[in-house]
Amino acid sequence: MEEIEKLFRGSPGDVERIYSTFSRDEIIEWMKGRPSADMRFVEVEGDSEIVVVVPTADASGKLASRTREHFQGLHIIFVESRGPLFNYARSVNAGVNEALKFKPKWVVISNDDLTRVESVSKLRDQLDSVTGVDLVMASPSSYHTYHVLLMDPKPWFVTGMGVFGKLTGLAPAKVYGKLLKFRERLGVRFVTMIESMVGPMARFAGKSYRVLNAGSFAVIRPRRSPLDETFINSHEDLVLSMTSRYAVINYGIEEQRGASLGFGEARFVRTFVNEIYLNYLLEKGVLSIPGTERELSHS
């Protein structure tokens, strides 16, 4: 497993060698066995009926300072962690588990890169109107509360995606167009695609299922370790959304895209390990696409 870790920390070309060299089981075993980065909590005192959990690389930095302003009056738990072993799901779970000692009514899970947030009083009012759900999403945007397609793409679409990515420089299309040549050997039947990026081509590209994803901002009912820590900095929010009863409230936020992890090829070539693990969960029946359980079991 040391060889996979070394390649994963390398260049995009190094990471690609993981998919051509190792089996699905070896990759998932490595994902599950990765050690955790060091973490520390930095707390801001406030009303603990709603506790805000924020993974961050620097609890005293500009992004964290802005987050303090956004959620002023609420209890905030910054989970500071950085380095190659940073894992978003592990940081979130650590923060949520710490929040449970306050017996909150709700726990907000937020990135630290929010640029605009509506008032805390509006958030309270909106949450007070919600019943019968364990996940609440903010008003739709391109980086939160957006639709994801779980698509079984046709070969021509995969080829076209790679060509489109090279011509436009769009990193996810370029990377996935290349990496999907390994899909059969790695058991990747479904590929996650942001619906707005696929556009009308989704009708012809292959069988797909539409899922609403909370993305970078979610509010949950308190429970221990809500995210699957095997995922490495993507897809954990999608699985949370797929497995929760949810509501969408009228609460607007805006954020930067890729402020922490970037939006280049290096990010998406690493993200592909999560496609492998997501498909493993679907294949084994541990996870199902909402509303398709019977259909998928007979396909």
> What is the rounded CA–CA span in Å between residue 28 and residue 18?
12
Given pLDDT bands bounded at 50, 70 and 90, which one contains residue 299?
very low
Predicted confidence (pLDDT) per residue in 162-216, tens digit: 787 777 778 888 888 889 999 999 999 999 988 887 777 777 888 999 999 999 9
Determine the pLDDT at residue 197. Answer: 76
Q: Which residue has the higher pLDDT, 92 or 256?
A: 92
Residue 40's pLDDT band (cuts 50, 70, 90): very high
In this structure, which long-range contacts are made by residues 176-183, counting pairs with CB atoms below 8 Å and at least 24 apart in sequence?
176/268, 176/272, 178/16, 179/16, 179/19, 179/269, 179/272, 180/153, 182/19, 182/20
Please state, in angstroms and rounded to a whole number, the distance separating the CA atoms of residues 169 and 171. Answer: 6
Q: Using an 8 Å Cβ cutoff, are 229 and 32 in contact?
A: no
Residues 6+ away with beta carbon under 8 Å from 2: none
Residue with the bigger pLDDT between 155 and 258: it is: 155
State residue 58's pLDDT score: 97
Instruction: From residue 206, give the alpha-carbon distance in Å to each of 131, 132, 148, 242, 281.
Output: 36, 35, 14, 21, 21
For residue 75, give every residue at least 6 positions away whose Cβ sits within 8 Å of its Cβ, in sequence order, or none. 43, 44, 45, 46, 47, 48, 50, 51, 52, 99, 102, 104
* Structure confidence at residue 263 (pLDDT): 58
Q: Does the structure show a pLDDT above 90 at 290?
A: no
Distance from C-alpha of 250 to C-alpha of 140, rounded to nearest angstrom: 9
Dihedral over alpha carbons 13, 14, 19, 22 (to 10 degrees): 160
pLDDT of residue 276: 98
What integer pLDDT is reported at residue 232 of this predicted model?
98
pLDDT in tens, 108-161: 999 999 999 999 999 999 999 999 999 999 999 888 999 999 999 988 888 887
Element (H, E) at 280: helix 265-284
User: What pLDDT score does 174 carry?
Assistant: 86
For the chain, the average pLDDT equals 92
**Residue 18: exposure state from Cβ atoms within 10 A (0-12, 13-18, ≥19):** buried
Confidence at residue 177, expressed as pLDDT on a 0 to 100 scale:
87
* Residue 276 in tokens: 């492998």
How do residues 219-256 score in pLDDT, each as one tens digit?
A: 999 999 999 999 999 999 999 999 999 999 999 999 88
pLDDT at 292: 67
Whether the model pTM is above 0.75: yes
**DSSP character at residue 60:** T
Average pLDDT in the 54-69 region? 97
Q: What is the pLDDT of residue 277?
A: 98
CA separation for the pair 80, 70 (Å, rounded): 18
Average pLDDT over every residue of 263-278: 91
Sheet holding 144-153, edge to edge: 191-194, 144-153, 206-215
